[in-house]
Amino acid sequence: MTEDIKILTLKEAAKLLKVSLRTLMRWCENGEFPGFQLGVQWRVYESDLRSYIDRQKRKAERRSNETAHSKRL
């Protein structure tokens, strides 16, 4: 069974992330977000968006754990 490849526009991805289109475009241009260009338009694989969200969650959890640990010291 093959998995359907879902590709989002930056506008769709920005809406899901609740950030402005300009912010997401800047992240893509800086390599902070896994977008790719088709001609002059940016696109995002849905799977990359999910992975990005998961990475950001893990970073936030680590920061929270580090803060909790430093408060105990």
CATH number of the domain within which 55 lies: 1.10.10
Q: Which residues contact 64 (CB under 8 A, 6 or more apart)?
A: none
pTM: 0.78
Share of the chain above pLDDT 70, in %: 88
Residue 1 pLDDT: 47
Instruction: Report the chain's mean pLDDT, rounded to a whole number.
Output: 90
Q: How many domains does the chain have?
A: 1
Q: What is the pLDDT of residues 9-41, one digit of tens each?
A: 999 999 999 999 999 999 999 999 999 999 999
**Residue 48: DSSP 8-state:** H
Average pLDDT on 37-66 reads: 92
Evaluate whether residue 63 is within a structural domain. yes
37 bridge partner residues: 42
Residue 18 covered by a domain: yes
User: Does 2 have pLDDT greater than 60?
Assistant: no
In a domain, 1, yes or no: no
